């Protein structure tokens, strides 16, 4: 079976989804009936181990597991009353399970606790040669700290600011220094064989626009027209798609898009496209970050009246220049006004603040942004922008607050590793810590709202949970998890962690279990 993380807000609507949704609602109704005759008739004999009345959700969990024919020991549930700071339920909560995307909550929380919501990354431009009359007589070096949201709009602002700084022509090369971060060199297609998908994109200190190219397809008079955006001069398109008569069909409309070559500089479009389709678009990761950056820089710089005909090359900012710039950046504002800035640094552009980055990351479960965040923790606190340093810094941050993650197995920042393990009680302790911290508003704001936005926009919308829960989901083949904060019918606020590990868990069984248990907790 292909192992793949599924994003509920982006998954195509299948007929089976409604069946599972109805089953989850039905299970929730049975749980609310408790030990009534109808429930007993449907469920049969009660489990041999009856949970105590002080364990909300356990009865619903066990009934749902039985009805869905899932193993009794396949799920864990942890529930905390946040208002009273009272642990209500800990059912198999010490059993390590694959966290999947729930692991993203760890770097999100650690960054908010340690770096603070106003923290920013910076991207800089340095002149490696004299600038005379608007002409840079040498190379332009770009250096970045790993801005997780260095999209095309941010790159446009960067190039525009460079033009405003008086650079109208660059005689040398564009040199890219990405040494601030050193991500793990895992194969792009190691997770699910889909190395050209954005969720498998490796981190990079200068990652422009997630190296994304969107291919829009439209039926023409006799062929399928393909338009790629943004404009990337280095990218070649091989359009082999055949236009066929017929209505618009389902997933991907019969189209296959493959990224070719080690340089990732060619897109081959194959398959058939029904004439009944008006427009269809697919997005893939193309080129290397350096080449993508060079392409977009050239297009934007020339569109703003600049001239550059050089090549893109690796670069390294001199250690002395970096030290001088760092010393200047640490000066208080008044002292900085009276101190000459580094002469060779032409531009220093800040990223959006951390609270906005965490919001984007959390709402849409962005994998590469999570990795950039973890690497940044390593760089800031351990002096090394590696995943190992990042995990070490993260554990130290939580340990200082009384949360022990020492026995957790954490290898992939975004949760794309089936061998990773985290105890539900550990994740619950993180939720409790963040709820009690000054960073609670920013953290809660970053979690998708049930039935409203982010990855939960199309989940729970027809249930009492809609707009009553801030939840993060985590899904792999055989894994279906959810964690977050739920407001009950009585106005109580609960921190909830529900983790399921079973065959076919991701194909409707897990969401049905989640709906049954969460609705039972809401109604309690």
Residue 105 has pLDDT above 70, yes or no: yes
Residue that terminates a domain, selected from 352, 383, 399: 352
CA separation for the pair 204, 287 (Å, rounded): 13
> Minimal CA–CA distance to 364: which of 3, 12, 10, 108?
10
Total domains, the chain: 2
Kindly state the average pLDDT of the residues 7-21. Answer: 41
Q: Is residue 511 included in any domain, yes or no? A: no
User: Are 342 and 359 contained in the same domain?
Assistant: no
Q: Is residue 229 included in any domain, yes or no? A: yes
CA separation for the pair 424, 84 (Å, rounded): 20
pLDDT at 45: 32
Q: Provide the 10 A C-beta neighbour count for residue 445.
A: 15
- pLDDT (tens digit per residue) in 421-470: 999 999 999 999 999 999 999 999 999 999 999 999 999 999 999 999 99
- pLDDT (tens digit per residue) in 21-73: 555 555 554 444 443 332 333 333 333 333 444 589 999 999 999 999 999 99
Band the pLDDT of 473: cuts 50, 70, 90. Answer: very high
CA separation for the pair 445, 430 (Å, rounded): 16
CA separation for the pair 427, 398 (Å, rounded): 11
Is the Cα torsion angle 75, 80, 81, 82 positive or negative in sign? negative
Q: What is the mean pLDDT of the chain?
A: 90
- pTM of the full predicted structure? 0.88
Band the pLDDT of 10: cuts 50, 70, 90. Answer: very low
Helix, strand or coil, per DSSP, at residue 442:
helix
User: Are 406 and 495 contained in the same domain?
Assistant: yes
Residue that terminates a domain, selected from 352, 370, 400: 352
User: Are 214 and 267 contained in the same domain?
Assistant: yes
Kindly state the average pLDDT of the residues 90-94. Answer: 97
Q: Would you state the structure tokens that stand for residue 523, as one six-digit string? A: 């109604």
Buried b (16+ CB within 10 A) or exposed e, 472-495: bbbbbbbbbbbbbbbbbeeebebb
Residue 13 has pLDDT above 60, yes or no: no
pLDDT at 46: 32
Q: Is residue 340 included in any domain, yes or no? A: yes
Which domain range does residue 319 map to? 120-352
Residue that terminates a domain, selected from 309, 324, 352: 352
Residue 293 has pLDDT above 50, yes or no: yes
DSSP state of 457: T
User: What's the per-residue H, E or C state across 68-135?
Assistant: CCCCCCCEEEEEEECCCCEEEEEECCCCCECCHHHHHHHHHHHHHHHCCCCCCCEEEEEEECCEECCE
User: Are 310 and 335 contained in the same domain?
Assistant: yes
User: Are 109 and 178 contained in the same domain?
Assistant: no
Q: How far is CA 148 from the centre of its chain?
A: 10
> Minimal CA–CA distance to 169: which of 142, 143, 131, 125?
131
CA angle in degrees (0–180, nearest 5) for 145-149-154? 90
CA separation for the pair 237, 401 (Å, rounded): 52
Phi and psi at residue 167, in whole multiples of 5°?
-90, 115
Q: Would you state the structure tokens that stand for residue 242, as one six-digit string? A: 């055949």
User: Are 201 and 228 contained in the same domain?
Assistant: yes
Pairing of strands 169-170, 224-229: unpaired
Residues 518 and 482: beta-carbon distance below 8 Å: yes
User: Are 321 and 263 contained in the same domain?
Assistant: yes
User: Are 388 and 302 contained in the same domain?
Assistant: no
Q: Is residue 457 included in any domain, yes or no? A: yes
Q: How far is CA 439 from the centre of its chain?
A: 20
CA separation for the pair 458, 453 (Å, rounded): 8
Pairing of strands 307-308, 493-501: unpaired
> Minimal CA–CA distance to 486: which of 473, 496, 500, 499?
496
pLDDT at 278: 87
Whole-angstrom CA distances from 228 to 15, 215, 238, 255, 267 are 32, 5, 12, 15, 10
Q: Is residue 126 included in any domain, yes or no? A: yes
Residues 60 and 26: beta-carbon distance below 8 Å: no
Q: Is residue 55 included in any domain, yes or no? A: no
Residues 321 and 344: beta-carbon distance below 8 Å: yes
Residues 365 and 101: beta-carbon distance below 8 Å: yes
Tell me which of 192 and 153 has the higher pLDDT: 153
Bridge partners of residue 349, in order along the sequence: 123
Residue 354 has pLDDT above 80, yes or no: yes
pLDDT at 254: 78
User: Are 317 and 364 contained in the same domain?
Assistant: no
Whether cis (ω within 30° of 0) applies to the bond prior to 315 is: no
User: Are 315 and 402 contained in the same domain?
Assistant: no
Give the position of tokens 């590793």. 417
- pLDDT (tens digit per residue) in 494-503: 999 999 999 9
Q: Is residue 15 included in any domain, yes or no? A: no
Helix, strand or coil, per DSSP, at residue 228:
strand
Helix, strand or coil, per DSSP, at residue 265:
coil
User: Are 329 and 438 contained in the same domain?
Assistant: no
Alpha helices in 400-463 (DSSP H): 424-436, 440-446
Band the pLDDT of 14: cuts 50, 70, 90. Answer: very low
CA separation for the pair 410, 404 (Å, rounded): 13
User: Are 270 and 311 contained in the same domain?
Assistant: yes
Q: Would you state the structure tokens that stand for residue 37, as one six-digit string? A: 């005759």
Q: Provide the 10 A C-beta neighbour count for residue 4.
A: 17
- pLDDT (tens digit per residue) in 389-421: 999 999 999 999 999 999 999 999 999 999 999
CATH number of the domain that residue 106 is part of: 3.40.710.10
Whole-angstrom CA distances from 107 to 214, 364, 386 are 29, 15, 14
Q: Is residue 68 included in any domain, yes or no? A: no
């Amino acid at each position: 079976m292909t192992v793949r993380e599924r994003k509920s807000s982006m998954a195509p609507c299948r007929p089976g989804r409604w069946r599972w949704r109805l089953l989850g609602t039905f299970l929730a109704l049975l749980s609310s009936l408790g030990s009534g005759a109808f429930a007993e008739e449907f469920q049969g004999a009660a489990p041999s181990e009856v949970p105590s009345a002080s364990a909300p959700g356990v009865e619903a969990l066990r009934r749902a597991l039985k009805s869905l024919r899932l193993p009794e020991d396949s799920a864990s549930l942890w529930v905390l009353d946040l208002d009273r700071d009272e642990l209500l339920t800990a059912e198999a909560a010490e059993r390590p399970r694959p966290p999947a995307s729930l692991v993203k909550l760890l770097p999100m929380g650690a960054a908010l606790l340690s770096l603070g919501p106003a923290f920013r990354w910076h991207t800089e431009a340095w002149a490696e040669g004299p600038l005379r009359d608007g002409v840079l007589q040498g190379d332009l070096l770009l250096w970045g700290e790993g801005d997780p949201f260095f999209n095309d709009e941010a790159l446009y602002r960067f190039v525009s600011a460079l033009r405003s700084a008086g650079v109208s022509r660059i005689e040398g090369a564009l040199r890219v220094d990405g040494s601030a971060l050193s991500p793990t060199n895992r194969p792009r297609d190691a997770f699910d064989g889909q190395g050209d998908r954005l969720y498998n994109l490796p981190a990079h200190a200068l990652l422009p626009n997630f190296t994304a190219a969107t291919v829009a397809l439209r039926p023409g008079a006799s062929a399928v027209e393909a338009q790629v955006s943004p404009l990337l001069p280095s990218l070649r398109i091989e359009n082999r798609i055949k236009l066929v008569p017929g209505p618009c069909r389902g997933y991907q409309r019969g189209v296959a898009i493959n990224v070719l070559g080690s340089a990732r500089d060619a897109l081959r479009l194959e398959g058939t496209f029904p004439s009944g389709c008006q427009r269809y678009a697919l997005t893939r990761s193309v080129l290397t970050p350096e080449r993508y950056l060079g392409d977009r820089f050239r297009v934007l710089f020339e569109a703003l009246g600049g001239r550059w005909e050089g090549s893109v090359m690796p670069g390294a900012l001199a250690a002395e220049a970096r030290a001088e710039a760092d010393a200047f950046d640490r000066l208080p504002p008044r002292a900085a006004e009276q101190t000459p800035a580094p002469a060779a640094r032409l531009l220093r552009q800040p990223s959006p603040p951390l609270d906005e980055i965490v919001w984007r990351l959390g709402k849409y479960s962005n994998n590469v942004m999570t990795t950039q965040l973890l690497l940044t923790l390593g760089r800031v606190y351990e002096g090394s922008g590696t995943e190992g340093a990042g995990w070490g810094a993260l554990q130290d941050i939580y340990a200082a607050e009384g949360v022990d993650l020492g026995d957790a197995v954490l290898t992939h920042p975004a949760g794309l590793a089936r061998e990773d393990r985290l105890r539900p009680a550990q994740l619950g302790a993180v939720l409790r810590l963040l709820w009690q911290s000054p960073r609670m508003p920013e953290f809660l704001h970053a979690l998708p709202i049930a039935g409203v936005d982010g990855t939960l926009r199309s989940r729970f919308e027809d249930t009492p949970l809609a707009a009553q829960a801030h939840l993060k989901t985590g899904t792999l083949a055989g894994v279906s998890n959810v964690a977050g904060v739920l407001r009950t019918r009585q106005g109580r606020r609960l921190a909830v962690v529900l983790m399921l590990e079973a065959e076919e868990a991701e194909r409707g069984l897990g969401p049905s279990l989640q709906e049954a248990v969460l609705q039972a907790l809401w109604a309690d």
